[in-house]
Structure 1
Amino acid sequence: MTDQPAITVDGHAIPLLGFGTWMLEPDDARRMVAEALRIGYRHIDTAWIYHNEAAVGDGIRDAVEAGHVAREDIWLTTKIWVDHFHRDALLKQAEESRASLGFTPDLLLLHWPKPTPTFEETLGALNEAKEQGLTRTIGLSNFPSAEFRKAQALSRARLVTNQVEYHPYLKLAKLLATARDLGSSITAWSPLAQGKIAGDATLNEIGRAHGKTPGQVTLRWLIQQNVIAIPRTAKESRAAENFDIFDFELTAEQMDRIHALARPDGRLGDWIDPAFKWDEEWA
């Protein structure tokens, strides 16, 4: 794809730094996706429930037509919403998402775990979507370790990532280990803790040592763990700042100091179905 850092999962190179589009209105999504690709991002993340898939596709076309990037150099992810987990509904949404984007996605995720329908039905349908050419690869989002393992056991194809909340205030050691055990990866949403990292004394101190911002330090911390990060912004200047993380490296001591910022109440987006529980990291 490009010479920027990537993680290879099941033979697919996934750029470690992506651009997220959660909560971006269509006009902003189109503008920012085109700009992100011009800057150099090669990984774009969206979802059916974001209501901006068509705009994301338009932004990709804008960048391709401007000569900034070729479609084959972009990793494009979207997600199946939980209301569409029955077989027929999942396949229908996969077709609709491909039509809205105007491109076949490289990765199709299940957006959250859901107790019904059964994992067997939903994972079977997700594999069918891949086999029908509605996506190149498949994966998960917001699955705790136990459900991650169950899903992979039921899936004919490799689940190439599990996209979850991850940032310096959230401990994720067990899920990271699970991903490694399964030959998969972790993608971090809200990697900048919804902006809360900006005033962090530790991140600011480390940033000053490298001439970088707390956000750049945080994104570097993630990709040095081989975690995919998908920051989102509606500002062109911030997108450029977030991309400027490939010219420095954190020391092992700095990595440890950032890991030490995690706390039991660090989760910001706890929308998991009550049938499931997050990994117990603080027991």
Structure 2
Amino acid sequence: MHNEALEPKITLNNDVKIPVLGLGVWKASNVEAADAVSLAISHGYVLIDTAKQYGNEQGVGDGIQDGLKVAGKNRDDLFITTKVYSGDQGYQASIDAIDGQLERLQTDHVDLLLMHWPVTDMYNETWRGMEEIYRSGKARAIGVCNFDVERLTDLLAQASVTPAVNQMEFNPLIHQQDVFELCQENGIQIEAWSPLGNGKLLGLPLLQEMATAHKKAPAQVILRWEVQSNVIVIPKSVHEDRIVENADIFDFSLTDDEMKQINQLNEEKHSRWYDDYQWYGNPAGDPNRIMKA
């Protein structure tokens, strides 16, 4: 199935184009990820987002192979993202880890490689390693995740390559406006993880009213708000009906007033499990504890 709306549309700061909506596979097992990725590709998805830390790169790779066969497409039709695991941070360690990740994903390059978390005293060296990966052609673009203003400012002062993307927690309840503005000033594209707020937003009366008015689901209203806010979204699902529904957001628009009303839901509160990642680093020095979830 061809869905032109899912084709690469946003141009990153290095001229690589990325779709505005894709599939996330956080918390999916290898088997679930393989099925979800294959289904998504068959329904026109191009952007697939995974991470070494998710433990499902192999399943994603299997799903890509299966999905490409079913859809009659090839690797170059997809936009594959994975991430540098915090246990692999550092200049040489990040370089050494990429080949294993590519092998599991069954490709010779990823379209976007992100640093999963800014581990204290390591992220600048990790970025230097990622710049080498970028120059080698094993990643068409590189970026970061979960960088706040302080750490992003520090990275930008030392980086040779400006991050193309900052993937961060973004949904109607948390906008991280200071980070958002810093990224805009530096030509860094925002990509939202947990765009639906772990489903906690779906019951909000405001969103339900808008969904009824547009004959859409609340999740579709949220994703549409994000896309109209110039944010890339990667909603996670392993269910075919949800995968299809999440992509069906390009035949309607929210009014300026509706956008403002959703903007006003902002509480700037991270989800409860955010701090479990210990994204600021781990004094105990155990890299496997840096990210629990």
Q: Give TM-score scaled by structure 2 length.
A: 0.89
Partners in 1 of 2:37 and 2:22 — Cα distance? 10
Matched, 1:191 2:192: no
* Aligned equivalent of 1:110: 115
* Aligned equivalent of 1:279: none
Matched, 1:4 2:10: no
Amino acid in the other structure paired with 2:116: H
Aligned length: 275
SS at match of 1:4: helix
* 8 Å CA contact retained: 1:123, 1:154: no
SS at match of 1:79: strand
Shift of 1:48: 0.4
Alignment of 1:267-282 (within 5 A): 267-268=271-272, 269-270=274-275, 271-274=277-280
Partners in 2 of 1:131 and 1:22 — Cα distance? 28
Which 4+ stretches in 1 moved above 6 angstroms? none
Shift of 1:2: 7.3
SS at match of 2:249: coil
* 8 Å CA contact retained: 1:46, 1:52: yes
Amino acid in the other structure paired with 1:114: V
SS at match of 2:166: strand
* 8 Å CA contact retained: 2:3, 2:44: no
Alignment of 1:120-269 (within 5 A): 120-268=124-272, 269=274
SS at match of 1:242: helix
Q: What's the RMSD between the two structures over aligned residues?
A: 1.8
* Aligned equivalent of 2:18: 14
Amino acid in the other structure paired with 2:97: Q
Alignment of 1:87-106 (within 5 A): 87-103=91-107, 104-106=109-111
Partners in 2 of 1:120 and 1:171 — Cα distance? 25
Unaligned runs of 5+ in 1: 277-283
SS at match of 1:22: coil
* Aligned equivalent of 1:281: none
Partners in 2 of 1:109 and 1:223 — Cα distance? 21
Partners in 1 of 2:113 and 2:216 — Cα distance? 34
Unaligned runs of 5+ in 2: 283-293
* 8 Å CA contact retained: 1:37, 1:69: no
* 8 Å CA contact retained: 2:118, 2:281: no
The CA deviation string for residues 205-231 of structure 1, in whole angstroms up to 9 with x for no partner, is: 111111011100000001111101000
SS at match of 1:188: strand
Partners in 2 of 1:105 and 1:264 — Cα distance? 32
Amino acid in the other structure paired with 1:56: V
Partners in 2 of 1:258 and 1:178 — Cα distance? 22
Shift of 1:15: 0.5
* 8 Å CA contact retained: 1:142, 1:272: no
Q: Give TM-score scaled by structure 1 length.
A: 0.92
Amino acid in the other structure paired with 1:73: D
Larger mean Cα displacement after TM superposition, 20-29 or 120-129: 120-129
* 8 Å CA contact retained: 1:24, 1:52: yes
Shift of 1:77: 0.4
Larger mean Cα displacement after TM superposition, 4-13 or 25-34: 4-13
* Aligned equivalent of 2:288: none
The CA deviation string for residues 33-84 of structure 1, in whole angstroms up to 9 with x for no partner, is: 0101111111000000111111101111111112343321211100001111
SS at match of 1:69: coil
SS at match of 1:203: helix
Amino acid in the other structure paired with 1:4: A
Matched, 1:79 2:83: yes
Cα distance change of structure 1 residues 233 and 73 upon mapping to structure 2, 3 Å threshold? same
Partners in 2 of 1:38 and 1:223 — Cα distance? 22
Cα distance change of structure 1 residues 242 and 2 upon mapping to structure 2, 3 Å threshold? closer
